[in-house]
Structure formats: C-alpha cells, structure tokens
A and B are shown apart, each in its own frame.
Chain A
Amino acid sequence: MRTTRTDVIDESMSTDLTGTTPEHQKPKRTRRRAAAIASGAVAYLITFLVVLPLLWIVLLSFQPSGNILGNPFSLTNLTLDNYLTVIGSLPLLKMYGNTVLIAVVAVSVGTAISFTAAFALTRMIFRHRKVQSSLRFYILAGLAVPVYILLFPVYRLDLAFGVFGTYAALILPYIAVSIPFNTLLLTGFLREFPSELEEAAIIDGAGLGRLCWTVVLPLMRPVIATILIFNVVYVFNEFPFASILINNPDMVTVSLAVSRFQGQYTVDYGGMMAAATLVLLPQLVIYALFQKQVIAGMTVGAVKG
C-alpha cells in the first residue's frame, strides 16, 4: 500500500499514546490503550481463523495414515511418508510445465495484442471518430460476459478449428477473455497519459512500431505489471475451461490435477493432503515474495473491471 497522509497521522497519534500526556488525560489514555489492545487481539484472532484451514492441511500431510482418522492433532509421530508416496505418483513437473507454458503464451500474447489495440483505440486518428469509440465500447462490453456461457461454444469452436487436443484449445479462449479487461486498463492509462513524448519521438523520426514498442511501452510498466499479475493468477487457477478442453492426461494443468485428487487418492487422506500442500506451498511462496504487487494487481484490476 502506498503511504498517504493518513499513515503519517496514524503514526503521530500512536507516538502521542506512548509519549508523555498531561495528568488530566490519563483515563482517556488508558481507555484508548485498552481499545487498541482489544482491536489488536480481534485482528490477530480473525487472521488466525483465516490461516487455520491451511495449517490443518499441512499438519494432516505430515500425519501417519492411522492418525488422520484417530488422533489428527498428535504432534509426536509426524512423518514424511505421505510426501514420498505422492512424489512417486504425482506428475508435478508435467502439471507445472503445462500450466506455465499455457500461462506464458496466453498472457504474453493477450497483453501484446491488447496493447496494440489499446494504442490504436486511443492514439491513432480514425477516419470516423465514432468507429473508434464504438469499437472500444464493443470490446469493453465483453466485461459483462461470464465465462460459463462460453464453455460449450468454445469446445465446439476448438473442434471446428481442429485445435482440440492441443494447448491452443485452452490458450485461445484465455486470450479472448483477457482482452476486455486488458483494454479497459490500457486505454484508461493511455487516455490520461500525455502524448508530448510521443510527438517528440515522431519528430525525431520514429516509426509506428518503434513508437509503440520502445517509446510508449516502457512508460507503461506499472499498468502492464498489473495486467500480467491479474492474468497469470487467473490462468493458473482456472478450472472450468481446462476441465472441458483438455482430455489428454499428458496435458493436465495444476487445477485439473487437483480436481482429480479425491478420485486418485480416495481414502489415502495423508497422500491427498501432501499433494495439496505441494500445490499450495509454491503459490504461497510466490505470493509472499511479490505480496505487494499481487495484492495491488488483483484489487486494482477488480475495482476497475
């Protein structure tokens, strides 16, 4: 979160609490301190409740199978057995490989074509201005479409184009559903962004391609970062499209693999939890590293969308 005036004021208030205060303000001061402690305690309690389900999964993943049904809270015989079974049976490399491949292609192509489109929609001069603004509106209207209505038609389209059974079957709809959101953010940014620099570049003889990719694009880093994060999280977590458009076991994505854990491990709950932990942990580690950007990327995206 960016620092604002309110942060500064907050801090000055809290230093006031610990600093010297005139005698007659004492009761108010202690009441304030009690309130601060109480709200702190509630905040910690809620956070603990939110984290608890994750801790429970991790704990179960280290329990020997007998303990899960009997005494799952025991901390005495924790074991790595579940992980050893799972690493043999879970195609981790394949799951992650497929998902990363699909995400990289879909998100980079989706961002690139949205960028050139947004550039044309805000910077180029159309013979008819109305065409330009109605094209923008046409693309933005896509924001109102829920993906569920697309599942079956996209399946038929993939069959018709002969891409069913390839990565493109999934990549094409992922690109398409990212376009309205990307266009919203990019055109919004470009509209507020002064065009003097571009004019200077044109005077210096820069062509359209150079103008677009080497002058404008680098200046748009923050909004591009937001788009990349938002889309990568979406593609990584997407399930409905993947469940319908992927039928080859060698092409499973992470979400698809997780959806099959219950069938795959049936009553081997320890194994299932170890597999879940192996999917959960990398995500949480990446989140911990890029926490600020991820939170900003996802909320800015959602608010504008």
Chain B
Amino acid sequence: MIAPALILFTLFLVYPVIYSLGFSFTKFQGFGSPEFIGLQNYISLGQDPFFWRALQNTVIILIVSIVLLVPGSFALALLLRRKVPGGGALRALVFGPAIIAPILVGLIWVFILDPKIGLLNRLLGFVGVAPVQWIGGDTLTPYAVALVFIWGSIGFAMTIFYAGRQVLPEDVMEASELDGATGFQQLRYVTIPMMRETFAIVTILMITSVFKIFELVYMLTGGGPVHRSETLVSYMYFTTFTNQKYGLGMALAVIITVLGAVVSVAYLALSRERKTA
C-alpha cells in the first residue's frame, strides 16, 4: 500500500537531490561523462561576480519583502476584521493574486513597470515625475521584483493573520480592555505576543517563497542587463539550462537549498530565543 508512494518519492525526489549533490562536484557539459573536480565549482562561484550580484539581489528582495509584507499584511488583517461593508469580498479580492500563475503575474507587471509603456510611469507622468527605469536598469529591478512579490502574497499572508487573529480567546481581549488598555497597548502587549506563532509561520513562508522567486525575473528582465537583475534561482536556471554548465548549476542549486534552510532555521531559533528571554 505504501510502495507506490515510496517508490515515486524516492526515485523522483530523494534520488535527484543526491544526484544534484554528486553532480555539483563534477564538470559536465551534457556530453561524455562527468569529470570529478572536487570543490572547483563552489570556488568558481565564489569568484563569479554574477553570483554575488544574484545573491545581493535575492537579499534585497528578501529584506524589502519581509519588512513591508509582514507588518503590512498584519495591519490589513486587523483592518479587515473591523466592520467594513463588503469585507468578505475585499478579502477575496486581495487574496486573488495568490492564485494567478507566477509566469502570468510577471507578464502582467511588465505592463505596469515597463519604463516606456508601463502604467506606473504614466501615472507618475500625470503628476510631473520623470520616467523611472523600474526594470531593465542597473539598480531598481530587485526592488520592483519585491513589489510584485508583495502584490502576489499580501492577500495570502493577510488570510493567515486573519485566521490567527480570529481564534484568539476573546475573554483575554475583553479583560485587557476592562483593565483600561488603550488600543495600541492591547495590540503591543496582548494581540501581537499571543500571535507570535502566526508571525513565525508567515515569516518562514515568505522567506521560503522569496528563495523560490524565478518566474517574475524571467518575465520582467530575463535577468538582464548582463545578469545584473538575476536572483539566485534565475541565475541557476541560466547556468544550468541556457549555458549548459550542469555541474556549476547543480553547485548553485545546492547553495540555494542550504541557504534557504539556514535562513529559515536561523529565524526560528531567533524567534524562539526572544520568547524565552
């Protein structure tokens, strides 16, 4: 009974991970047999400015997204808990982008962010702001990608906060009100501490999602100009499948997997420490 799942899982998930790890120590261009070169791929990546640029972009997206998205979606959840006419419909609309294919999200945002034809520069033009090169320039692309990521995830994160707030025991809230807590005090000393676990869930989910960002870059800039807007995953895809440097690509894939896990675990450890402190 367990055999079919176990076989498929082992063959198409566990074995590939080991295979990638093994390939990351070889030089392989798609023909002949892979040649063992030890840690050479990892050393080459360390000397590759495009790799560091991709890492930097990923970190920028990570920081901007987490800093804006976590408090933003929490605030939105609290806002939508209040009696707003049509609140249910608003929640459904804000969640909407989460079900759209990332590749289509990327295409849609080309028409918002494109410096010449995009909606954003046209709207800014009405108030006299000169066109800004949101994508395709040298610096702004990771911030633009973070914006698109936030757009796609805010409703999702809000829904988790909304559900988390919904199950808080209401007698505690009432007690704090009777004790004369102001709205802010209640939020700071009751609501947020009681929702610590929800904050951890949302933050971890967003960290792992940022480390998977690929389609947005693929559609918005293709990683260009000259790899200056790549994320780690899009650069891995390019190295592996466009450049066909399979060994190098797998080394990059291993680094991404380890980094994603390390950041998530580090966040969990930090938030647990704060809880005991």
Contact = CB atoms under 8 A, between A and B. Distances in A.
Nearest to A161: B11
A75 interface: no
A148 B2 contact: no
A214 interface: no
Interface residues of A, number: 92
A154 to B, nearest CB: 6
A84 to B, nearest CB: 21
Interface in B30-51: none
B17 A150 contact: yes
Contact of A9 (B100, B170, B205): B170
Interface residues of B, number: 87
Contacts of B100: 237, 280, 283
B271 interface: no
B1 A183 contact: no
| Chain B interface main SS type | helix
Given A152-B20, A179-B13, A302-B205, A39 B79 contact: yes
Interface stretch (A22-30, A115-123, A199-207): A115-123
B234 to A, nearest CB: 10
B170 A5 contact: yes
A77 interface: no
Nearest to A257: B103
Contacts of A36: 82-84
B12 interface: yes
Given A50-B94, A259-B218, A299-B156, A157 B109 contact: no
A296 B84 CA distance: 21
Given A176-B11, A259-B219, A139 B6 contact: yes
A104 interface: no
A80 interface: no
Contact of A283 (B99, B111, B162, B165): B99
B13 A145 contact: yes
Nearest to B261: A144
30 contacts: A1-B162, A4-B166, A6-B170, A7-B166, A36-B82, A36-B83, A39-B82, A39-B84, A40-B84, A50-B93, A51-B96, A54-B108, A113-B8, A119-B1, A135-B2, A145-B13, A148-B253, A152-B20, A153-B15, A153-B23, A157-B16, A179-B5, A239-B101, A255-B101, A259-B218, A262-B110, A280-B104, A284-B96, A295-B91, A295-B92
Interface of B: 1-2, 4-6, 8-9, 11-17, 19-20, 23, 76, 79-85, 87-88, 90-104, 107-112, 117, 119, 122, 151, 154-156, 159-160, 162-163, 165-168, 170, 201, 205, 208, 211-212, 214-215, 218-219, 233, 236-237, 240-241, 246, 249-250, 253-254, 256-257, 260-261
Interface of A: 1, 4-7, 9-11, 13-14, 36, 39-40, 42-44, 46-47, 50-54, 56-57, 60, 68-69, 72-73, 113-114, 116-117, 119-121, 124, 135, 139, 142, 144-154, 156-157, 172-173, 175-177, 179-180, 183, 212, 233, 236-237, 239-240, 244, 254-255, 258-259, 261-262, 269, 272-273, 276, 279-280, 283-284, 287-288, 291, 294-295, 298-299, 302-303
